[in-house]
Structure 1
Amino acid sequence: MKKNFIATAVAAAFLAAPLSAFAGETELLARIEKMAAELEQLKAELKANQRKTDSIEQRQQAIVQAPSPVAAPAAGPSTVITGYGELNYNRPTKNASAAQTDVRRAVIGIQHRFDEKTKLVSEFEWEHAIASATDAGESAIEQLYVERQFDNGMRGKAGLFLIPAGLLNTAHEPTAYYGVERNFIETAIIPSTWREVGLGLSGDFANGLAWDAGLTTGFDITKWDAASGDGRESPLGSIHQEGQLAKSRNLSAHLALNWRGVPGLLVGGSVFTGNAGHKTADFAAPDARITVYDLHTRYTPGHWDLSAVYARGEIRNVDALNLTFVGQPNPVPASFAGWYAQAAYQLYKSGDYVFSPFARYENFNTAKRYSSVPAGLGVPVAADEKVYTIGANLKVGEGVVLKVDYQKFVEDKTRDRLNLGVGFSY
């Protein structure tokens, strides 16, 4: 009885942490990792009560990984409203007349728990303030899936869900990352926010290793437009399907592993692969295959928040397709890749104000290599772009953040800019 009481008290304290503020907050991340270690000890003591241990472990994983707050299990049905949004100002230093302000996105989430083990997660997003036939805005369903916890501690889900790649894709609220804009590696190489329709299964091992696997829809290479610059901006972002009448002749598979065996440390990686040609008749690349993988780490010792991500994508079996694009500026790249390293420090804290300056270096290329074409007909490979970003986040309360940063581009200096932003999540 004493052990059960301790377990209940620790779990209650753990679940009472303000979930909406965990992302990007060094202090709370450290607290989560410390509690995670305590829960690992608790598992060993409560082997006689495995079902309760699995329930605690599942809640721990939800707090560390979930992209938005989740409702604590209740005896009966319950519904929780969540949301996040951001408004940004960008001012190019070489062309001030191009400065602009944008309601970048507004998201409303509805999570409904049917019972202790079954829940629905949904998120609805609006971008650029107005969505209509004549406006640049967009309205989209970002997530829509049902998740079930099984008696063995594993969790299964079905629907439209985020692919567990990198650090940002599953934790992309503005309070979860440093800088006004999302980094280029996890937008240009990994097309955050990247979601697919399918089935997923996840679980945890006793040594702090968590796994996430699934079978889902993939990309559609028939959407590639060699005359457009979209593919150069983000190869996968230009051909993702997002659950909209998604071609499904061939499905894709993914696997992600994340280890949290040391408090404050996360080390992980992921791979996603599948056919993107879908055996399309009279198409030059019916067997095109896309593979994208990443390695990532985050370490939060004391007031520091250190992170790094490497991501790489490959598109195979597109030689014949690129021959049809000869003379166009943007054929399909054979590979694209990038990496970043970032350091942030909690310099000042007073009451509910937290000031954290940061610095980030990025190196990426969305067309690192092209498949072979006859001499003189190919497109030259561009140099890797390198971006230096320095700035600061000011946390106001538990769910609001003010941001400022300056970005310096080494290759394309016309992109140098000052950014200001305000974001929130709840």
Structure 2
Amino acid sequence: MISNKYLVRSLCATLISTAFLAPAQAGETELLQKIEKLAAELEAIKAELAATRQKTEVVEKKQEAISTEVARVAAAPATPAAAPITESQLDALRKTLQQTVISSYGEIGYNRPRNAASQTQTDVARAVIGVTHRFSEKTKMVAEFEWEHAIASKGDNGEAAVEQLYVEHELKPGLQAKAGLFLIPAGFLNTSHEPTSYYGVQRNFVETAIIPTTWREAGIGLSGTHENGFSWDAGLTTGFDLTKWDATSNDGRSSPLGAIHQEGQLAKSRDLSLHGAINWRGIPGVLLGGSAFSGKAGHGTSGFAANDARVTLWEMHGRYNPGKLDLTALYARGTISNTDALNLTFVGQPTPVPSSFAGWYLQGAYQVWKNEDYSLTPFIRYEQFNTAKSYAPVPQGLGVAAAEDEKVTTIGLSFKVGEGVVFKTDYQKFRLDSSRDRYNLGVGYSF
């Protein structure tokens, strides 16, 4: 191969001969063009030569470093081969790495009423940070902290709350005990309400108006799982506080139990409540279950007209999810007993305490497309609910008429990016109050 040095010399000779030995008839302009072209080629060769020299220096330094490392290793004393890592050591390493786990979920929604565009709004509905710390193989702590509606301060609509805070200990394989503030195992969403786990931009009405998701109580609980597909939960916890009922507001009409839940905030605890739940997953893709919760809600409050009032809520649910198809159904019913004397004190107010409230829904979804990164699932849901289905009898002319059932049809799509991010859109049609018809868009995540 001809060296760059030789090319430089050759090009210089050519340049000289061209400049001084050119035929006399050659034009001056042509001669200058040839000189400029040859000069440009000379500069290019010089640049290439400099780059080659730089690369050579880099290679030489790398070779020197490799040689030094080889010499060092060769001079080092021989060591026996490392012993293979045992399975128990691997388990210990996994436990160390998984000792503390951070989780989170959040969602943002856009709602546009069909007939009232001026009421269109966007809301950072919630952001939740979770911490699970495992003290040992059998004992752990679970905590979740939630912020709703973006800003939590005086004069804002936002709220900051402790959603869960409990410790759990495995008594034996398949049997756990816990104590603290935890979610009541009712329905589908109360214990699994991340935006990636349900269809629709908003949580369904039955599991917000009838079952006040997310509903948590402070207390103790037991849970168990069995090889035959059955699992169960039972516990003794705080309950509702009926003294919080405000007959002048619409809160009780939106969600009767949501208006009187305590959420662990200086919760009245003279009257405690019992709950139980059972689920069966004995066939792949099939879930059948139900739950019940009951407890007094007066707490022996002095001068209160309904100290014997009892709140009871029960529900049944089923799901069939063999693959791409996902079918769910749920029925929930609640009662508040011994409210007649209390409602007499609310005569003339718009929202007395209902003696019963109930709702149900059917939902179907089908995953029409999926690849390694994305999936698309359309769904349809029909639900019917009533937050004031009946009232305790009062003297004629003093009571409030029971409400009619609201019926809502929701049609929408869920577009998932992997398993942790979802984009949603849907349209909701209200049969009783069509002014609430709306288009919704949302984005959510969970990890």
TM range (shorter): 0.7 to 0.9
2:165 equivalent in structure 1: 144
Structure 1 position 207, deviation (Å): 1.4
Partners of 2:219 and 2:237 within 8 A in 1: yes
What SS class does the counterpart of residue 351 from structure 1 fall into?
coil
Deviation per CA, 1:359-418, whole angstroms, max 9, x where unpaired?
000000000000001001111112100000000100012200000000000001110000
Structure 1 position 284, deviation (Å): 0.4
Matches of 1:295 and 1:234 in 2, distance apart?
19
Structure 1 position 153, deviation (Å): 2.7
Q: CA RMSD in A?
A: 1.2
1:274 equivalent in structure 2: 295
Partners of 1:76 and 1:114 within 8 A in 2: no
Partners of 2:174 and 2:226 within 8 A in 1: no
Structure 1 position 85, deviation (Å): 0.0
Structure 1 position 77, deviation (Å): 7.7
Which letter maps to 2:365? Answer: A
1:203 equivalent in structure 2: 224
1:234 equivalent in structure 2: 255
Deviation per CA, 1:256-307, whole angstroms, max 9, x where unpaired?
0000000000000000000001111110001110000000011112310000
1:226-305 superposed matches below 5 A = 226-305=247-326
Structure 1 position 205, deviation (Å): 2.4
Deviation per CA, 1:330-351, whole angstroms, max 9, x where unpaired?
1000000000000000001122
What SS class does the counterpart of residue 296 from structure 1 fall into?
strand
Partners of 1:356 and 1:394 within 8 A in 2: yes
Matches of 2:386 and 2:184 in 1, distance apart?
22
Partners of 1:73 and 1:117 within 8 A in 2: no
Structure 1 position 75, deviation (Å): 5.7
What SS class does the counterpart of residue 341 from structure 2 fall into?
helix
Q: TM-score, normalised by structure 2?
A: 0.78
Query: CA, structure 1 residues 73+298, in 2 after alignment: closer, same or farther (shift >3 Å)?
Result: farther
Matches of 2:221 and 2:123 in 1, distance apart?
35
Matches of 2:125 and 2:225 in 1, distance apart?
35
Q: TM-score, normalised by structure 1?
A: 0.82
Deviation per CA, 1:200-256, whole angstroms, max 9, x where unpaired?
100022311100000000000000000100000000000000000000001000000
2:213 equivalent in structure 1: 192
2:243 equivalent in structure 1: 222
Q: State the structure with bigger RCO (CA 8 A, min sep 6), 1 or 2.
A: 1
What SS class does the counterpart of residue 333 from structure 1 fall into?
coil
2:178 equivalent in structure 1: 157
Deviation per CA, 1:176-198, whole angstroms, max 9, x where unpaired?
10000000000000000000000
Which residue among 103, 111, 116 is the counterpart of 2:132? 111
Which residue among 345, 354, 364 is the counterpart of 1:343? 364
What SS class does the counterpart of residue 95 from structure 2 fall into?
coil
1:25-174 superposed matches below 5 A = 74=95, 78-174=99-195
Task: Work out which of the two has the higher radius of gyration on C-alpha atoms and give 1 or 2.
Answer: 2
Partners of 2:217 and 2:238 within 8 A in 1: yes
2:345 equivalent in structure 1: 324
Superposed structure 1 runs of 4+ greater than 6 Å apart: none
Matches of 1:153 and 1:306 in 2, distance apart?
28
Matches of 2:234 and 2:371 in 1, distance apart?
42
2:80 equivalent in structure 1: none
Partners of 2:356 and 2:388 within 8 A in 1: yes
Matches of 1:75 and 1:176 in 2, distance apart?
29
Matches of 1:84 and 1:302 in 2, distance apart?
25
Deviation per CA, 1:49-85, whole angstroms, max 9, x where unpaired?
xxxxxxxxxxxxxxxxxxxxxxx97268811100000
